[in-house]
Amino acid sequence: MERHQPGQAASNWQGDSIVFGCDYNPEQWPAEVWSDDVALMVEAGIGMVAINIFGWATVEPRDGEYDFSRLDTIVELLHENGIRINLGTGTSSAPPWLSTKHPEILPVMADGTTRWPGGRQAWCPSSPVFREYAVRLVGKVAERYGAHPAVALWHVSNELGCHNALCYCDVSAASFRRWLQSRYGTIERLNDAWGTSFWSQRYGTWGEILPPRATLAAGNPAHVHDFERFSSAELLDYYGQELAVIRTASTIPVTTNFMVTAHIRTQDYWRWAPEMDLIANDHYLDHRLEHPERELSFSADLTRGLANGYPWMLMETAISAVSWQPRNIAKTPGELTRTVASHIARGADAICFFQWRASRQGAEKFHSALLPHAGTDSKIWREAVELGALLERLAPVAGSRVEARAAVMFSWESWWALGADSHPSQDVDHLREAHRAYAALRANGVTTDIVPPGADLADYSLVVVPALYSLSGTEAIAINDYVAAGGNVIVTFFSGLADEELRMRMDVTRAKPPGAFAEMLGAWTEEFFPLNANESVVLDDGSRGSIWSEVVRVTTATVLARFADGQLAGHPAIVSNAFGTGRAVYIATALDDEAFRSLMAREVMAAGIAGVSSFGSDVEVVVRSKGPDRFLFVINHSADDVSIAGTGNELTTGESVARTLAVPAGAVRVLHEQPR
């Protein structure tokens, strides 16, 4: 596969504008409405439309029989109206004729049950049969439209792994074995890595290895972990197969839509990102979380991390409610603008919606769309048109970059590993602890990058390592070296305990304390004391912690706070250690929001970082810049008006600001500051 820095290969995909786009599924509608649709798209300012995402059954209605007549018409209609196309390869969901003819392509669950057609994405990622039919279709689509002047972008499949990431069938088993062979070389090395002496699991030949199918007792964690790695790599390999076919007929940038969210964890996007021409993400507000807008910020900053700091594309979001949560909450007044602005502030140069016209039938008919069932005489349509105008006014922002001096480390592998059975507490979750640390920085007005283990940390003044359970030796050394060379790090509980095979990091001679960070932290953990659900513990500085406590043994560190109640009363809870020319802080419990915010306020100041604002969690302040131009985004989620110093042209209202930018409650302002 081609490898490059995302964003570089396709540097001007946004065409000097903030793209306003949507998914369009005209196959769901009679041809009579298509020209009406496109006229309304022009009225709203839609610049890019994703088509053919679920087009397979329409363009190949029978095995080997292609009918591109409808797609041709749509492509020309969009082209004539100056709308660029994000062209789906159409392979996301196989038509019924394929699964009827080849039921062996259907995915199999860990318990051996099959997942049947009738929904979407019912295919096994390893199936050579599925792949053969899919790439045959991709070849036809690429040949037909690969050089079409309206096609701006290729959209491979759709949300790869959304439903079918893990398949446990025999075909997947064979592919898993090949993957393991190339990872370990010999069966002895695999046995060693997986610790198969435990519970009599030693393998004699590769053929004895299965995917981690449903077991009676807890499965081997290293086995499960490698299957998660394999499954992410398998879909990425599939992406590569589609990409190679596209490249035979087209030079247009290629990508697929990631799902950087709190509820889907199956793909290691740190590994995917270098294979994309540009990074695209799908994000929907998750009302099952306590603070959906904070998760949005984290997801957007993580997407920017995947894009290596380059502008990225929000390929899907909803104009109002979705239809797949238990309660699908409509957006409140101003919320659409605030959420869109938050994505743009954090690096998005394209805002696209699922979908253009609300479906009349099918599983998503209650999902909001730019053109609702109610038609154009509706709040949603008026908001869509207003948003189009706003994005036009934000065009100067396109291509600018976000700068951050703080970073939070996040690892899909650690997230998977911590999600396994048989841990001290099911409440310890890497993503949740990353969110908690991120929220503490955000509440201090500090813009934060999200980086992978192993990242070059030299440019950051402060790095947080939150519940990073597993990491490789090289990754651990990178963190230690960063601090030794003068960096500041905050490590939270359950970090650095295991290596990349999930072996506990310990010295069997007992000469050194366990964990990857004992020397750097000047402290180590003797015993875990997880807290019960709804239990909390008080610290002697007045903070409160939940989820976790532990016996911390101090070697060279200074104790900043101790547990003040519970069975660990008097034991250290927060410690700080000078290491090399840097400093490391360790937190042995999940601090509540307020306590973490105030600890972070001290630490960012000690690290020499000035937050761009002191408004707290409900007002986001982020700066994007491009050469001498600075764009100050203020997103006011609060019920109070705020103001901030600044001079320049305010892009949302067109007003010029002499000294103070006023941002009314619920509003968004983007100040374009230029040197005089």
Contact call for residue 629 and ligand GAL (CB under 6 A): no
- How many Å apart are CA 320 and CA 377, to the nearest integer? 16
Q: Which residues make Cβ contacts (< 8 Å) with residue 508, sequence separation at least 6?
A: none
- How many Å apart are CA 223 and CA 543, to the nearest integer? 39
Contact call for residue 392 and ligand GAL (CB under 6 A): no
Sign of the C-alpha dihedral, residues 419, 421, 424, 426? Answer: positive
Number of residues located near ligand GAL, criterion CB under 6 A: 11
The minimum distance between CB 317 and ligand GAL, in angstroms, equals 8
**Which residue, 316 or 550, is less far from ligand GAL as judged by CB?**
316
Contact call for residue 88 and ligand GAL (CB under 6 A): no
**Which residue, 176 or 354, is less far from ligand GAL as judged by CB?**
354
Contact call for residue 296 and ligand GAL (CB under 6 A): no
The minimum distance between CB 358 and ligand GAL, in angstroms, equals 12
**Which residue, 141 or 259, is less far from ligand GAL as judged by CB?**
259
The minimum distance between CB 316 and ligand GAL, in angstroms, equals 6
**Window of 34-42, 157-165, 241-249, 304-312 that interacts with ligand GAL by CB under 6 A:** 157-165
Q: How far is CA 106 from the centre of its chain?
A: 27
Contact call for residue 500 and ligand GAL (CB under 6 A): no
| β-pairing verdict for 84-88 and 48-51 | parallel
**Which residue, 160 or 446, is less far from ligand GAL as judged by CB?**
160
Helix then strand then coil, in percent of the chain rounded to 5, is: 30, 20, 45
- How many Å apart are CA 123 and CA 189, to the nearest integer? 32
Contact call for residue 316 and ligand GAL (CB under 6 A): yes
The minimum distance between CB 337 and ligand GAL, in angstroms, equals 20
The minimum distance between CB 600 and ligand GAL, in angstroms, equals 33
**Window of 64-72, 156-164, 416-424, 655-663 that interacts with ligand GAL by CB under 6 A:** 156-164
Question: 382: which 2 tokens?
Answer: 């008026």
The minimum distance between CB 92 and ligand GAL, in angstroms, equals 8
Contact call for residue 364 and ligand GAL (CB under 6 A): yes
Strand partners, 21: 48, 352
Nearest CA to 305 among 486, 463, 476? 463
Name which position in 284, 410, 469, 579 contacts ligand GAL (CB under 6 A).
284
Q: Which residues make Cβ contacts (< 8 Å) with residue 623, sequence separation at least 6?
A: 402, 403, 447, 612, 630, 631, 632, 633
Catalytic (active-site) positions: 159, 316
Name which position in 367, 442, 505, 597 contacts ligand GAL (CB under 6 A).
367
DSSP string, 187-231: HHHHHHHHTTTGGG---SSGGG-------SSPPPHHHHHHHHHHH
**Which residue, 162 or 249, is less far from ligand GAL as judged by CB?**
162
C-beta separation of 520 from 579 below 8 A:
yes
- How many Å apart are CA 498 and CA 475, to the nearest integer? 12
**Window of 126-134, 158-166, 338-346, 493-501 that interacts with ligand GAL by CB under 6 A:** 158-166
Contact call for residue 310 and ligand GAL (CB under 6 A): no
**Which residue, 55 or 219, is less far from ligand GAL as judged by CB?**
55
The minimum distance between CB 584 and ligand GAL, in angstroms, equals 40
- How many Å apart are CA 488 and CA 521, to the nearest integer? 11
Contact call for residue 24 and ligand GAL (CB under 6 A): no
Nearest CA to 572 among 583, 584, 593, 557? 557
Question: 259: which 2 tokens?
Answer: 């799902």
**Window of 315-323, 390-398, 445-453, 648-656 that interacts with ligand GAL by CB under 6 A:** 315-323
Residue 419 is inside which H or E element, if any? none
Strand order in the sheet with 590-591: 536-538, 544-546, 590-591
The minimum distance between CB 123 and ligand GAL, in angstroms, equals 16
The minimum distance between CB 313 and ligand GAL, in angstroms, equals 14
The minimum distance between CB 271 and ligand GAL, in angstroms, equals 21
The residue at minimum Cβ distance from ligand GAL is 354
C-beta separation of 638 from 619 below 8 A:
yes
**Which residue, 387 or 428, is less far from ligand GAL as judged by CB?**
387
Residue 639 CB burial class (10 angstroms; 0-12, 13-18, ≥19): exposed
Nearest CA to 152 among 46, 1, 27? 46
**Window of 76-84, 314-322, 525-533, 623-631 that interacts with ligand GAL by CB under 6 A:** 314-322
Contact call for residue 286 and ligand GAL (CB under 6 A): no
Contact call for residue 353 and ligand GAL (CB under 6 A): no
Residue 526 CB burial class (10 angstroms; 0-12, 13-18, ≥19): exposed
Contact call for residue 322 and ligand GAL (CB under 6 A): yes
**Phi, then psi, of 563 in degrees rounded to 5:** -65, 135
Contact call for residue 162 and ligand GAL (CB under 6 A): yes
Encoded one letter per residue, x for contact with ligand GAL by CB under 6 A and - for no contact, window 108-147 reads: ----------------------------------------
- How many Å apart are CA 145 and CA 248, to the nearest integer? 12
- How many Å apart are CA 169 and CA 174, to the nearest integer? 9
Contact call for residue 258 and ligand GAL (CB under 6 A): no
**Window of 272-280, 316-324, 486-494, 506-514 that interacts with ligand GAL by CB under 6 A:** 316-324
C-beta separation of 582 from 485 below 8 A:
yes
Name which position in 133, 270, 312, 354 contacts ligand GAL (CB under 6 A).
354
The minimum distance between CB 204 and ligand GAL, in angstroms, equals 43
C-beta separation of 349 from 14 below 8 A:
yes
- How many Å apart are CA 125 and CA 148, to the nearest integer? 30
Name which position in 37, 60, 159, 335 contacts ligand GAL (CB under 6 A).
159
Question: 664: which 2 tokens?
Answer: 């009314």
Contact call for residue 283 and ligand GAL (CB under 6 A): no
Name which position in 60, 226, 268, 282 contacts ligand GAL (CB under 6 A).
282
C-beta separation of 666 from 338 below 8 A:
yes
178 three-class SS = helix
Contact call for residue 256 and ligand GAL (CB under 6 A): no
**Which residue, 162 or 385, is less far from ligand GAL as judged by CB?**
162
- Binding residues for ligand GAL (CB under 6 A): 158-159, 162, 282, 284, 316, 318, 322, 354, 364, 367
